[in-house]
Amino acid sequence: MSRLTSPTSSTVGQKILVACTGLLLCGFLVVHLAGNLLLFVGPEAYNAYAHKLHSYEPLVKVAEVVLFLLFASHIVLAVRLSIRNRRARGSAYAMSVSKRDDRILGVRLDYWMLPTGLVVLAFLLLHLVDFTWELRPDVTYAELEPYEKALALLTSWPTIVGYSVGTIILGAHLLHGAPSLLQTLGINHPRYNKCIKLLGGLFAVVIALGFFSLVLWANWFEHGGGHG
Ligand code: HEM
């Protein structure tokens, strides 16, 4: 396969792979948010969901490996693309890998894809320490059911700060990323581009606010609001 067409070495191929992995990660976010919104329903629903998920242990392990590969390839390819693009243009500002010119308050969102992506990565590591690897010394994991564990973590200061920043920055990342990946995958048309941009933006806001609402809810609940 020539360098021009190889998906991992050509710029176009890399862009398509970043878009494909990004799309699959967006799918994961939707499923993950839907599962965690069961916290709003109550301990029975959330614990039943968490225990059911863990009862498919081999499938969960496969999903974890797939997720890891998706995150790793998305990050490595996107960073490589940004560096290559920056070198090609010879400017510290030229981090953009997109032809889109989305702006908020005059700021070009595509210039911020690398920094916001790195913040999301830092958030993700904190999140895995909290929930998956269970490494927080201030939480007595063994005694807690999934619902209590989520509540204990979401009301602790490192998590409140980390998740608030993390979910808002995730929203900023998706605000450009979601419509941009559709464009890269050829889902665009001059007649519908405004609509696609709007839907991508809406997706970003719903995902960011959805996860952030769990942090807000847990703290409101903890301070008596949810105890009737
Ligand atoms: C307040 C928001 C969130 C809550 C309450 C939450 C909750 C959880 C829980 C309960 C687990 C499973 C841990 C286990 O039992 O093994 C988990 C895993 C995970 N979460 Fe989240 N999550 C949140 C936000 C996010 C966000 C925004 C992302 C992505 C940017 C994310 C990515 C992941 C990943 C990659 C895993 C590992 C999957 C696995 O171990 O099976 N989470 N989360």
CB 82 within 8 A of CB 15: no
- For a pLDDT cut of 90, what percent of the chain falls above it? 67
CA of 127 to the centre of ligand 1 (A): 7
Query: What confidence category does residue 93 fall into, taking pLDDT thresholds of 50, 70 and 90?
Result: very low
CB 185 within 8 A of CB 19: yes
Residue 177 pLDDT exceeds 80 = yes
Instruction: Say if strands 103-104 and 107-108 run parallel, antiparallel, or are unpaired.
Output: antiparallel
Task: Pick the residue whose CA is nearest to atom 36 on ligand 1.
Answer: 128
Q: What is the mean pLDDT of residues 153-168?
A: 96
Residue 100's pLDDT is 61
Residue 10's pLDDT is 78
Query: What confidence category does residue 7 fall into, taking pLDDT thresholds of 50, 70 and 90?
Result: low
Q: Which among 223, 64, 42, 5 is positioned nearest to 146, based on CA atoms?
A: 42
Go through the domains of the chain in sequence order and give each one's CATH number. Answer: 11-225 (1.20.1300.10)
Q: pTM of the entire structure? A: 0.89
pLDDT by residue (tens digit) across 24-41? Answer: 999 999 999 999 999 999
Residue 224's pLDDT is 65
CB 81 within 8 A of CB 177: no
- Ligand 1 neighbour 134 (Cβ under 6 A): no
CA of 42 to the centre of ligand 1 (A): 18
**DSSP per-residue letters across 103-146:** EETTEEGGGGHHHHHHHHHHHHHHHIIIIIS---TTS-GGG--H
CB 95 within 8 A of CB 85: yes
CB 133 within 8 A of CB 115: no
CB 94 within 8 A of CB 144: no
